[in-house]
Amino acid sequence: WGRQCVRCANYDCDVCMPTDTKSCFTCRQDYIRPLQVGDQCFERGSACAAANQYVTSSRTCGTCDSTCATCSGPDAGSCLTCDRSGANPLMHSNQCLAACPAGFSANSTGHCKPCSNTCASCTAPGDSMACTACIAGSGAPFLIGNNCTTFCPSGQFGSTASGACEACEATCAEC
């Protein structure tokens, strides 16, 4: 720095800050702690200082995608955890989402899990009695309550338009 040589007070530093010899401008790459986070040096493979950072291939800290709480890389598909109180609290295929995709519902830990195989959408994963819509053209395409069924009860018919069991016309004995 300038014309004056300053000895670093921090042995991890290759070059230290001119105003603070304990803070590193760069870390020694041939030493135990070559990974730089801010003005500090850390061991290879160690976690970065901030929760929303990850160790890059060049042994520096990169910032996670804004949707991730913690991550293993820079893109939205590298999330390890989601901020449960944030805008994207639900985990699906290593992505943090605002809502689970069709055919999935959040479990108690905030992970999107598949609905029952009869449900197109649901309120609880894997529960055949938690359907909110049925799979059209399947063996049980009609919703009655929260259950998908093949046949509707007496006095109702399966509406392909709504995907639900609906009441017959009042003038009909059966439909």
Cα separation, 150 vs 160, whole angstroms = 12
Q: Please give the pLDDT value at position 30.
A: 85
Rounded to an integer, the average pLDDT of 47-71 is: 82
Rounded to 5 degrees, what are φ and ψ at 129?
A: -100, 20
Residue count of the chain = 175
Structure pTM?
Answer: 0.66
Of the candidates 167, 174, 125, 122, the one whose C-alpha atom is nearest the C-alpha of residue 148 is 122
Top-confidence residue, 5 or 7: 7
Label residue 174 exposed, middle or buried (CB < 10 Å: 0-12, 13-18, 19+): exposed
CB 166 within 8 A of CB 156: yes
Of the candidates 52, 55, 56, the one whose C-alpha atom is nearest the C-alpha of residue 65 is 52
Q: Of all residues in the chain, what percent carry a pLDDT higher than 90? A: 59
Rounded to an integer, the average pLDDT of 23-47 is: 79
pLDDT tens for residues 67-126? 999 888 899 999 999 999 999 999 999 999 999 999 999 999 999 999 999 999 999 999
